[in-house]
Structure 1
């Protein structure tokens, strides 16, 4: 677990993907946004030998080890969004980057969200389903032409514009949690 010290009453647990580094641009800047706002941020590191997917006990342990802060935010990216059901069980708000919406368990969990949550996906990502009906407490941000890394293939300038808009949306969501 990588830990970035901040306010112990505002804790964010980041659940990265298995294949992509926790310093992939969207996670790096989301983490920076949270630390810049004074949050205590914990980034889970997964065992290297997990080829068949991320075992739920690792996800649940990462969420449990945060203790009981006043505010605990779950942030999942791709395979890390398999933590969405565990976050719902713990009544945690969440930011779900590239949620695996084609997995029935994740789709069902999205339908059960009661705490404030933000889903972020790209229109060029086969896992994203922009037409998915979302509960009223679940917000959505769709990134036009973005792929599975939430980047626009073939265009650094368009990727940077999309990243800026996405991070602003994440910042607005986090600010809403704090008020």
Structure 2
């Protein structure tokens, strides 16, 4: 019996799972029959007291219970920013992932994405201080870079920002199709 498709949403620090940067990839997964499991960070105030080199461990302790029963054949992770610190754990479970504005200046995040044998899409903005386009293209052959976009994938013009989110949505749809998650 085939497992039900599941999209695990790992939000950024400042907003929940339903920001446009996560909503469009999540909707693409839902339209392909996925059930959504959106993580809500617990004890977020602890982050202010945690040293930078311990963030990946803190994130993993919260994400591990969500991923432990996931089937790699029917699960995709969609993570933004803080959620990208779960990349080492996602790699351990061998799950495909869509990383939106991953923290590519963190070696934990880079190593986690690099160590994962499963397919991945990496999305970021060229004006994001935690984005490294060269690194992104070394980590995956599926990269969407939005020119002049910041960490929220926004630019100075709202219409151009919406167009950038459209590129994210299209990239997510193509990625999901490429891993066999086509619409029926």
Output the CA distance in 2 between the equivalents of 1:69 and 1:166. 23
Pick one of 166, 172, 175 that aligns with 1:173.
Answer: 175
Q: Relative contact order (C-alpha < 8 Å, sep 6+): which is higher?
A: 2
Q: TM-score, normalised by structure 2?
A: 0.84
Aligned length: 170
Query: What does residue range 27-176 of structure 1 map to in structure 2 within 5 Å?
Result: 27-52=22-47, 53=55, 54-64=58-68, 66-68=69-71, 70-132=73-135, 134-135=138-139, 138-152=141-155, 154-176=156-178
The answer as to whether partners of 2:127 and 2:151 remain within 8 angstroms in 1 is yes
Unaligned runs of 5+ in 2: 48-54
Report the structure, 1 or 2, having the larger helix content. Answer: 2
Give the deviation of 1:49 after TM superposition.
Answer: 3.8
Q: Which moved more, 1:14-23 or 1:120-129?
A: 14-23
Pick one of 10, 14, 27 that aligns with 1:19.
Answer: 14
The answer as to whether partners of 1:120 and 1:141 remain within 8 angstroms in 2 is yes
Return structure 1 stretches of 4+ with deviation > 4 angstroms. none
Find the residue that maps to 1:128 and give its secondary structure.
coil
Q: Which moved more, 1:18-27 or 1:72-81?
A: 18-27
Unaligned runs of 5+ in 1: 1-6
Report the structure, 1 or 2, having the larger strand content. Answer: 1
Q: CA RMSD in A?
A: 1.9
The answer as to whether partners of 2:76 and 2:96 remain within 8 angstroms in 1 is yes
Give the deviation of 1:67 after TM superposition.
Answer: 3.7
